[in-house]
């Protein structure tokens, strides 16, 4: 048999497990990718850490003072975390206060652990 034809046949049928298929469907893979993506930036992890240190709420001005980046960057990452549902905000006069959504962080952790445990 021609070596090229044999290689092509192995790619199509597989050489050992022809019934091999991903356990993650496209939607589950996208969700896992999104979950990992929101945690993939060091600034977002630092913001979550700052918010987790406080029982109450933290003013955006205190977050900006605690982080080594300018206000637009802090606002960008806060927006992404808010859109992901990991934090919430409340306006009080001129200032916005942020708080971590513990139940959302717990759900995210559980989803990640479930998916990563399946990879073992």
The reported pLDDT for the residue numbered 21 is 83
The reported pLDDT for the residue numbered 42 is 97
The reported pLDDT for the residue numbered 7 is 56
pLDDT in tens, 106-118: 999 999 999 888 8
The architecture of the domain spanning 25-118 is Orthogonal Bundle (1.10)
DSSP per position, 38-105? HTSSHHHHHHHHHHHT-SS-EEHHHHHHHSSS-HHHHHHHHHHHHHTTSEEEEEETTEEEEEE-HHHH
pLDDT in tens, 26-73: 998 899 999 999 999 999 999 999 999 987 799 999 999 999 999 999
The reported pLDDT for the residue numbered 13 is 61
DSSP 3: H
User: Domain locations in the chain?
Assistant: 25-118
Rounded Cα distance, 77 and 34, in Å: 15
């Amino acid at each position: 048999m021609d070596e090229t034809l044999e290689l092509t046949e192995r790619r199509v049928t597989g050489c050992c497990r022809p019934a091999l298929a991903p356990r993650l469907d496209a939607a589950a893979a996208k969700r896992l990718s999104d979950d990992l993506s929101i945690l993939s930036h060091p600034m977002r992890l630092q913001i979550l850490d700052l918010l987790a240190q406080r029982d109450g709420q933290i003013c955006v001005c205190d977050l900006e003072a605690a982080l080594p980046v300018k206000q637009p960057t802090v606002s960008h990452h806060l927006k992404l975390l808010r859109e992901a549902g990991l934090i919430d905000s409340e306006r009080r006069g001129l200032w916005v206060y942020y708080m971590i959504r513990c139940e959302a962080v717990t759900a995210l952790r559980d989803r990640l652990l479930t998916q990563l445990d399946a990879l073992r």
